[in-house]
Structure 1
Amino acid sequence: MSTSDGRVRVQERDESRWITLDNPSARNAYDEQMAAAVADILDTCNDVRSVVITGAPGAFCAGGMLAGMSAPTTRGMRKLYRGSLRMFDAIRSCPRPVIAAVNGAAAGGGNELVVACDLAIAAASATFGQTGPRVGSAPVTGATNVMGVQIGEKRAKELALLCRRYDAAAAERLGLVNRVVPDDQLETEVLTWCRELAALSPRYLEITKVSSNIWWNAARDSFANGVGMLVQAIGSEDMREGASAFLDKRPPKFVLDNGEFGS
């Protein structure tokens, strides 16, 4: 039976709980309310065997909403940054394994959402990549720290610094995802993994998951420091230009501190 909470849908399937980001007009990007709704759901998932996060048709998740960044307020952006971190922490602290069912583009914070999940299965048409420096931000809640543990520092810096897009096959080779399947087999494959998890001890799966969080926990100070630096940069010329260019669908024009450096 399905339930709904704003732009986040919840459905029980067998012994798993499926969380769907349902904001298709923004490619399933999230704001602080959506992030909080996902975190609240994850905090109450001890009554199922596994959790799946996916997106409404059209995308997996385009990360945090950029609309407010072209004319940002410190209060609004701080809420978004902290909301993102709370959602990612909720994935890691959820006692059940959390699977990303990547059914489309995972960009920016959406790619970091994949990093935060315990397992990830992607449709063949899915794409992956960070967007931070391209849109006037920085991927400090996963991509600049934990992703390096998952795929290697040089590869993680390639994703975080160059903002390239990678297809699902490349993501599997890098180690961003566990498995890639044809688009029409994604749900079937994810359900197969959920059923396999359901046959295992939930007590010892939780112990295994908590123990595996060592690198996430070690990077927690990096997350907090990164969010603090982003807060200090709210309203910068680069933030406004990056967001405006993205919304206008044009290349951004960043400058070197009004010419003081690089001349």
Structure 2
Amino acid sequence: MADIEVEPRGTALWIRLNRPERRNAYDGPMAHAIADALEGATSYHSVVITGSGGSFCAGGALTNLAAPDTANMRALYRASLRLFDAVRSCPRPVIAAVNGAAAGGGNELVVACDLAVAARSATFGQTGPRVGSSPVTGATNVMGVQIGEKRAKELAMLCRRYPAEKAMDLGLVNDVVDDDRLEETVIGWCAELAALSPRYLEITKVSSNIWWNAARDSFSTGLGMLVQAIGSPDMAEGASSFMEKRKPRFPAPE
């Protein structure tokens, strides 16, 4: 099974995450495959990212985090950063067609996209402190610009799950539609973009990256701190509890 499906649809390039058995959570190779597709999309008017199997994206794959390999974790962090950078550096508007759960890095993927349309059944939320991690590539910085600092900290720290309508109220997505109208609606958005100047859309996107660019150093700093925490008791307990579907029992504060 290919990690992603890349399908040209007229003026738009659709990228479908294709690991439904893990709710489209990405490992390093999958993140690189998505980034490669984004970097090769310059001949299209827009790009759509969506998921298969009723999920959008569950973020980074948590397999083996209870006993992590430092080199593999470094590679996953680098690949994750490359993925989000590829969304922002793609010269074409990137639309998230959120067809299910957008959790952890999947929610940060929505933050990185230029536009987002959600199915009514979609859900949103961060998972970092619940699973022994931290959402340092968007949710602790850029999301605050999008929805306000207090709301962003609520998502990043409390790890709650939000329905699509609440996500739109917060400003995480642009529109919410019935599930059976999601692709139809996104196709319509792509048609609107195709009628506009690609040159000036690119200028508009590059100009809009000011806050992303300002926060970019914090991504690298945050990932560096995550690397130092690889193998910590908190990471092991967070990953184990997630895989075992139980409440975590984190060590007491030191």
Q: Could you tell me the TM-score, scaled by structure 2's length?
A: 0.99
1:153 aligns to what?
A: 149
> How much does 1:71 deviate?
1.0
Whole-angstrom CA distance in 1 between matches of 2:116 and 2:84: 14
Does 2:114 correspond to 1:118?
Answer: yes
1:9 aligns to what?
A: 5
> How much does 1:57 deviate?
2.2
Whole-angstrom CA distance in 2 between matches of 1:57 and 1:197: 27
Whole-angstrom CA distance in 2 between matches of 1:42 and 1:14: 16
2:101 aligns to what?
A: 105
User: What one-letter code is carried by the residue in structure 1 that aligns with 2:181?
Assistant: Q
> How much does 1:54 deviate?
0.3
Alignment of 1:1-263 (within 5 A): 6-257=2-253, 261=254
- Residue 81 of structure 2 aligns to a residue whose secondary structure is helix
CA contact (8 A) 1:57 1:103 kept: no
- Runs of 4+ in structure 1 deviating by more than 3 angstroms, as ranges, are none
> How much does 1:68 deviate?
2.3
Whole-angstrom CA distance in 1 between matches of 2:3 and 2:34: 10
Whole-angstrom CA distance in 1 between matches of 2:140 and 2:113: 16
Whole-angstrom CA distance in 1 between matches of 2:222 and 2:26: 19
CA contact (8 A) 1:31 1:64 kept: yes
> How much does 1:113 deviate?
0.3
Whole-angstrom CA distance in 2 between matches of 1:6 and 1:186: 23
> How much does 1:14 deviate?
1.4
User: What one-letter code is carried by the residue in structure 2 that aligns with 1:153?
Assistant: E
1:45-88: CA deviation from partner (whole Å, max 9, x where unpaired): 11100000000022000000001211101101111111110000
1:184-206: CA deviation from partner (whole Å, max 9, x where unpaired): 00000000000000000000000
Percent identity between matched residues is: 71
Instruction: Kindly report the root-mean-square deviation, in angstroms, between the aligned alpha carbons of the 2 structures.
Output: 0.8
> How much does 1:219 deviate?
0.2
Whole-angstrom CA distance in 1 between matches of 2:78 and 2:2: 20
Whole-angstrom CA distance in 1 between matches of 2:65 and 2:251: 18
- Residue 230 of structure 2 aligns to a residue whose secondary structure is coil
Whole-angstrom CA distance in 2 between matches of 1:207 and 1:117: 16
Whole-angstrom CA distance in 2 between matches of 1:58 and 1:202: 32
Whole-angstrom CA distance in 2 between matches of 1:14 and 1:41: 16
Whole-angstrom CA distance in 1 between matches of 2:189 and 2:136: 30
CA contact (8 A) 1:148 1:154 kept: yes
1:147-185: CA deviation from partner (whole Å, max 9, x where unpaired): 000000000000000000000000000000000000000
User: What one-letter code is carried by the residue in structure 2 that aligns with 1:68?
Assistant: N
Aligned residue-pair number: 254
Whole-angstrom CA distance in 1 between matches of 2:3 and 2:35: 13
User: What one-letter code is carried by the residue in structure 1 that aligns with 2:162?
Assistant: Y
Q: Could you tell me the TM-score, scaled by structure 1's length?
A: 0.96
1:15-69: CA deviation from partner (whole Å, max 9, x where unpaired): 1000000000000000000000000111111110000000002200000000121
